Structure 1
Amino acid sequence: MELAPELSDETITGADLQSERIESVQYARVTFIDVDFTDATVLACTFTDCTFRRCEFAGSTHRNSAYLGCQFTGCGFFAASYDGCKLTGSRIKSSRLRQVKVRSGAWDFMTLHNVTLDGCSLRDVRMTESDLTGLKARGVQLRDVDLTSAVLADADLREADLRGSIVYSIDPAETLLGGAIVTAQQAIVLAANLGLDVRAD
């Protein structure tokens, strides 16, 4: 199936887009239901206020694309990759992200309530003011991630690699951090967040 270059206020159901190259499309308020994006390549596309229900993104590649204010419900993301993408204001729920790779991009103001990140890697990603309540990210690579003003209550970051990330918003009293990898400077920040009086001497 070939997608139209521009579309708004429509519903696409059951489309097979496996291995398709989707480039420079502009979609607004489009609902995708049971659409198969397996191994698709999405380049320089913009989806605004779109809804994705039970869609499959396994093995898909997304580059320099934007998903602004979108809703993802019950979707599969196994081994998907995002490079330089913007997901500002989007919400992912009832979905599991397995072995997803994210390289650079803006994921600000996102909502990932109780989402599981399994074997994922996020590097150089901005997640300022995102709601990550209950996020399950044990052992995940979160390198150089901007977590400024992010909400991480009840999140599980045990054994996660947090080096280079901004961790001022992480409260060790509310977030599981056992075995997490941090730098000495980050350790000082986290200790201060616990209420310790950290001094050089």
Structure 2
Amino acid sequence: MVSEQDAVVRDEDWYGRELGPGTAYSGCAFYDTDWTEVASEGAVFDGCVFAGVRFNASRHTGTAFTNCVFRSCVFFDTRFAQCKLVGSRFERSPFTLLEADGGDWSFAGLGGADLRGASFDGVRLREAELTGADAQGATLVRCDLSGAELRGARLRGADLRGSDLSSLDPRTAEVAGARIDPEQAVVIATALGFALG
């Protein structure tokens, strides 16, 4: 069991480390730490700062990263399954090949994020900040995007099927080639003032 508060971890190699349900960090800072192939399950990180951390090929299941800040981190081939990232903020952190399956990312700060190639399936992104995010070719299926800020988001070629798009205004985002289903088309057309039927 590991429980740390206000600790600072700097330049450490956590390669392949396993973090279980007894792992809890609060208000801690991780600087330039290698988290390559780390596997976490049920761990808790609250109010932590991650700067220059490499999450390459790491796997996280049922882990909470709540109200955390991720700055200049790398999420290459990272997997999140049923994780909680409520209120966390991401700055200058590419998400190449990241996969998120389920979980709650509500109120997450992803403004300007590079989400090209990322996949979100069944993720709750309610009221997430996605202003100016580059999600071209990304997968955002069956996601709850209600109340999300999508102004200036680049969604060209993205797969949005099954997601709540009630807050998407296609006049303020790039949506050419994005895939949606008929039900979503009705929602968007109605929001734009069309009379259907």
TM range (shorter): over 0.9
Report what 1:179 is aligned to: 177
Report what 1:58 is aligned to: 56
TM-score normalised according to structure 1 size: 0.95
Report what 1:199 is aligned to: 196
Structure 1 unaligned segments of length 5 or more: list them: none
Report what 1:6 is aligned to: 3
Question: Which amino acid is the alignment partner of residue 34 of structure 2?
Answer: D
1:112 paired to 2:85 = no
C-alpha distance in 2 between matches for 1:79 and 1:194: 37
Residues 25-72 of structure 1, C-alpha deviations (whole Å, 9 max, x = no match): 011000000010001101110100000000000000000000010000
Cα-Cα RMSD: 0.9
Question: Which amino acid is the alignment partner of residue 60 of structure 1?
Answer: S
Query: SS of the counterpart of 2:102?
Result: strand
Residue 198 of structure 1: how far off its partner (Å)? 2.8
C-alpha distance in 1 between matches for 2:113 and 2:192: 25
Report what 2:33 is aligned to: 35
Contact 2:190 2:196 in 1 (8 A): no
C-alpha distance in 1 between matches for 2:92 and 2:99: 19
Query: SS of the counterpart of 2:82?
Result: strand
Residue 23 of structure 1: how far off its partner (Å)? 1.2
TM-score normalised according to structure 2 size: 0.97
Query: SS of the counterpart of 2:183?
Result: helix
1:104-143 superposed matches below 5 A: 104-143=102-141
Contact 1:58 1:77 in 2 (8 A): yes
Contact 2:105 2:123 in 1 (8 A): yes
Residue 188 of structure 1: how far off its partner (Å)? 1.5
1:129-168 superposed matches below 5 A: 129-168=127-166
Residue 185 of structure 1: how far off its partner (Å)? 1.2
Report what 2:16 is aligned to: 19
Contact 2:13 2:34 in 1 (8 A): yes
Question: Which amino acid is the alignment partner of residue 140 of structure 2?
Answer: L
C-alpha distance in 2 between matches for 1:88 and 1:161: 23
C-alpha distance in 2 between matches for 1:157 and 1:13: 36
Residue 5 of structure 1: how far off its partner (Å)? 0.6
C-alpha distance in 2 between matches for 1:60 and 1:118: 19
Report what 1:78 is aligned to: 76
State, as a whole percentage, how many aligned pairs show the same letter: 34
